[in-house]
Chains A and B, each alone.
Chain A
Amino acid sequence: MAFRRHLPIMLFGCAAAVLPLALKDPYYLGILVFIGIFSIATMGLNLLMGYAGQISLGHAAFYALGAYATGILTAKYNVHFLPALAAAIIVTAGIAYVIGMACLRLKGHYLAVATLAAGEIVFICLNASVGFTGGPSGLAGIPSIEIGGFSFDSDFKFYYLVWAVFILLFILTANIINSRTGRALRCLHSSEVAAAAMGINVTTLKVQIFVLSAVYAALAGVLYGHSVTFISPQASDLMFSVKLLTMIVVGGMGHLWGGVLGAALLTLLPEALSAFHDYELIIYGSILLVIVMFLPGGLMRGFETLYVTILKKVRGRG
């Protein structure tokens, strides 16, 4: 049973493992690295929004916090990567816990505004603490990730690292969703009152899932910082939070593959369309509009419907 459930991700993993051998080109590898990083961030956000039904417009803040935490520790204080990573996770989780405790009492638009404000506070702090973060001009010279003497210093190596992390987190997330906690989350999504009546500790669960999704974002940020070797407060701004959100909405909210699909589409599409120059933005916008209008559940749900329809037709004929 468990094997069948994990079959798609295993097949995906095999495909991901052989793909770079076909495209050794650093440009394509670079894009795939970014898709992997964004997929990790959207996976966490999807857990929070798609499953638990809590909106966050401040996830870029956690992404940036993760990147800055390991960036500062490794670049300025020569800390090894793994302890720096542990520190980054603890710091981000701690901050997410505080923000979550304060914000998650709110619902709907109020929650959206509160998380937006929290993100903005982080943005301002990163800009203002010049001595520590480098301020608006950013933090340069972040070293490559080194684990046990092995340095991930090329796009080729980094590709495997990013997608390995992605697959591990995917399996973890799939297990959470199919567990008791996952069912509680979905229950929370449809009705908080009902969830509370069923004996679910609503506040605790909300904060737990908020912290977990913040840690996903932080991990993505850590990978981003060490792959680009530079980070600036831009990574924590509202536009990036909105971008992550768009990825989920387009890809499929409440569907594990939705985040990956959205991340891939939103990263690849502008690259593919760049040949159109001035018309790029118009075409890009139109495609997103069409998806949101005709496939409100996102691409993943659209594919599912299509699959079911075809299956029915085939069976009907048979």
Chain B
Amino acid sequence: MRKLLLAGALCLFVCASTVRAAEPYKIGAVFAVSGPAALLGEPERNTALMLTDQINAAGGINGHPIELIIEDNEGDEAKAVMKVKKLINDKVAAIIGPTRSGDTMAVIPIVEKAQIPLVSCAAAEDIVKPVKKWVFKTPQSDADAVRRIYEKMKDMKLTKAAIMSGTTGFGTAGREQLKKFALEYGITIVADETYGPKDTDMTAQLTKIKGTDAQAIINWEIIPAQTTVMKNKKQLGMTMPLFQSHGFGNIKYAQDAGDAAEGVLFPCGRLLAVDSLPDTNPQKAVLAKYKKDYEEKFKTDVSTFGGHGYDAYMLVVEALRAVGPDRAKIRDFIENKKGFVGTAGIFNYSAEDHCGLDKNSFEMLTVKNGKIVVAK
């Protein structure tokens, strides 16, 4: 009889623990899967789906499966607000995204009030400066890209730069940082040209630069302007080095410009040049696996944006693995996380730094024979 009771109690205990183990951990995500920023949001969503499948197939987090709730805000700020409120209502443990900086800025007041950790995939410095208690981000900062460019210029013994930028949020922020750090690195800015983001010809700006004693051009904009600058520069027969921003991070952009892209220098995460990284690089294993898995599953090139999604997602997963679905503990865990190896770099978060990356997260890359490789 006693044995029976014991067996019964054991059975109950096992049942109870399996029931408890089956309780899923909820992660919320807001991405701009459709709309103008879909080029960024789609790889982020794909990455999150892929990682959820992988982790659940391997038995979940400490036995708890992940329940991923993805919301598409279409790159719209009002929608981002609604979606985040919905996720809070769904009682998710943490939220990853949104994709765009504006969407992130719009939801910050809500997550701060609701006290839920948010790991954004957007780059703007305003997101983490000043530090918000519950908000983190995974992409590198503009300032670090600027530092890397200026360091490279110093190595190449170049001191006079001409800067070009678009009148967009990205271009304006880059231009500010370029001017801010020039003095510190002993760089003189001899020309400061701007253009509309949709302009199809930059010959005027480049001709003006040609008339100065600039030794290098730094261009800060995304497509299509960054391609136009390269083409026009080649047409004008200008041979000085051209630096692009980290917005150049897609092999398609290099292909668009054909020959004109050869030799262009740009600071970027290491994801795109993983094949040319030395095996000793601590990020290599993570990058190679992510790139292989992603490209096999979705039959398309991996991009840095999906990488930002990877970093945000894995950061939350690590936190869940360590402290469980308690929002405050997740926040504390991320804030104290050091040495997290992600796709954008090695993250060291602290109470003063909710971005966690420094200039070493950028590698100086170049285009050689139509491929992106590490610059020598």
Chain B residues near A13: list those with CB within 8 A.
none
CB <8 Å contact, A136 and B72: no
Query: What number of B residues sit within 8 Å (CB to CB) of A?
Result: 27
Secondary structure class of chain A's binding surface, majority of residues: helix
A248 at the B interface (CB under 8 A): no
Residues of A within 8 A of B124 (CB): 137
B-side interface mostly: helix
Residue in contact with B108 in the complex, picked from A30, A31, A230, A281, CB distance below 8 Å: A230
Would A34 and B89 count as touching, CB distance under 8 A? no
A135, B169: Cβ atoms under 8 Å? yes
B30 to chain A, nearest CB (A): 11
Q: Are B88's CB and A137's CB within 8 A? A: no
Q: Are A137 and B173 in contact (CB under 8 A)?
A: yes
Stretch of B58-66, B75-83, B268-276 that contacts chain A: B75-83
Residues of B with C-beta under 8 A to A27:
82, 85-86, 88-89
Whether A26 pairs with B77 at a CB distance below 8 angstroms is no
Choose among A138, A234, A274, A277 the residue that contacts B76 (Cβ–Cβ < 8 A): A234
For the complex of A and B, 5 pairs with smallest distance between CB atoms: A136-B169, A27-B89, A30-B85, A232-B102, A229-B109
Q: Is A62 part of the binding interface, using a Cβ–Cβ cutoff of 8 Å?
A: no
Q: Are A140 and B172 in contact (CB under 8 A)?
A: no
Chain A residue at minimal CB-CB distance from B74: A270
* Contact A30 B72, beta carbon cutoff 8 Å: no
State whether the Cβ of B357 lies closer than 8 Å to any Cβ in chain A: no
CB pair B172–A30 under 8 Å, yes or no, is no
| Chain A residues whose CB sits within 8 angstroms of the CB of B167 once the complex forms | 127-128
Known: A137-B173, A229-B109, A281-B34. 17 other contacts (CB 8 A): A26-B88, A30-B85, A34-B78, A34-B82, A135-B169, A136-B168, A136-B169, A136-B172, A137-B105, A138-B102, A140-B126, A228-B78, A230-B108, A232-B102, A234-B77, A271-B82, A280-B72
Chain A interface residues toward B at CB < 8 A: 25-27, 30-31, 34, 127-128, 130, 135-138, 140, 224, 228-230, 232, 234-235, 270-271, 274, 277, 280-281
A230-B82 contact, Cβ under 8 Å, with A26-B88, A27-B89: no
Taking a contact as CB atoms under 8 Å apart, the answer to whether A232 and B78 are in contact is no
- What is the distance, in angstroms, from B354's C-beta to the closest C-beta of chain A? 16
- Sample of 25 A–B contacts (CB below 8 Å): A26-B85, A26-B88, A27-B85, A27-B86, A27-B89, A30-B85, A31-B82, A127-B168, A130-B172, A136-B168, A136-B169, A137-B101, A137-B105, A138-B105, A140-B108, A224-B78, A228-B109, A230-B105, A230-B106, A232-B106, A234-B76, A234-B102, A270-B79, A271-B82, A274-B71
